[in-house]
Amino acid sequence: MNSIELAGVGMTSQRTRERLIQRLIDQGIISQPVLDVMRMTPRHLFLDEALSHKAYEDTALPIGYSQTLSQPYIVARMTEILLSAGPLKKVLEIGTGSGYQTTILSQLVQQVYTVERIEPLLKKAKERFRKLGLQNIVAELSDGSFGWDGHAPYDGIIQRRLLDEGSIVNPSVPVLEILDSTYVEARVSLPKSIIKSVNLGQKYPFIIGDESFDATLMRLAPMSSRGSNNRLGIFAFDAFFNPGETARLVLNIKEAKRGTWVPLNALSQAEQGLWTVFTVSSDNSAQKDYVELIHIEKTMAYVSGTLKTGDKVIVGGASKVAEGQAVRDSQ
């Protein structure tokens, strides 16, 4: 890649980039490392040539396959939040997209692992990483539902349209997906008992912070291949929220499968709609079970599966436990 292509000319020149950086500062971005990296990263290279003249506008832009190159402010703010606790060594990104957010992260952390479900986008992103000489990025074709356990644990997890700091994400309390500067979705795992009582196109209340906001149920999507009866409910908000905001869907479960209560932090996400929990077997080793999460109250989760009351479960980091591993008392 030649230096002119990297530097840009006209509407992709360094002067144009400086105007974008000033807009980010005006909107409250204060992290100097984030601003410096975004100043030097050629955003126009992550777009088709026909759109490159818009690369340094503070707006989301299409990259094909119904996906977008995220608004620079959203990229900056999500990155700033992720790094606010201090330097990070290893970060998982769910949703590579064009590779722009990945490229920003790769200049601020030691190692980035990234997954993308759309193969043509991933191929283009990998080619950009190669041209830019980025050697601390490992990319894989995946829909992100499973995370990437092979490289866990991570110091931080970021999604191109979602921010999660690595804690268990309660299906009824999703982190909001920022689709562009004015449109937000929440994706919620809905048990079969709830699916019967919801209707497409109808508005439902969510609690965000201390306020209630309505969101429209846009569609229901299939969930896990392991036999879960859950469906993924996609809700659209008219209001805009900051990256990292969480929302609790306010619906009453009138009927529930027979199950048992376990501590919420004994669960780790498996596939969408199912969770894993590790129990202690008779030989004091960890045994993995798949369960369906039915209901949550404070720090406890009501789950349906092969668990029964009285089973010993491993809490506080179940995602790091290997099946068959000897269990220490501290676990």
Q: Is the peptide bond before 153 cis (omega within 30 degrees of 0)?
A: yes
- The number of beta carbons lying within 10 Å of the beta carbon of residue 116 is 28
Which pair of tokens denotes residue 103?
Answer: 């490229």
Choosing from 52, 70, 228, 268, the catalytic residue is 70
142 catalytic residue (yes or no): no
Strands (DSSP E) along 17-89, which ranges? Answer: 61-64, 67-69
Cβ atoms 83, 146 nearer than 8 A: no
Q: In what order do the strands lie in the sheet with 231-237?
A: 177-178, 184-190, 231-237, 211-222, 203-208, 248-249
- Environment class of 127 (CB within 10 Å of its CB; exposed 0-12, middle 13-18, buried 19+): exposed
Side chain identity at residue 303, one-letter code: V
- Helix 72-82 to helix 32-40 angle (10° resolution) is 140
List Cα–Cα distances, 102 to 84, 93, 152, 310, in angstroms.
18, 7, 18, 45
What is the helix (H) or strand (E) element at residue 208, kind and residue range?
A: strand 203-208
Spatial separation of the C-alpha atoms in residues 281 and 304, rounded to whole Å: 19
Annotated catalytic residues are: 70
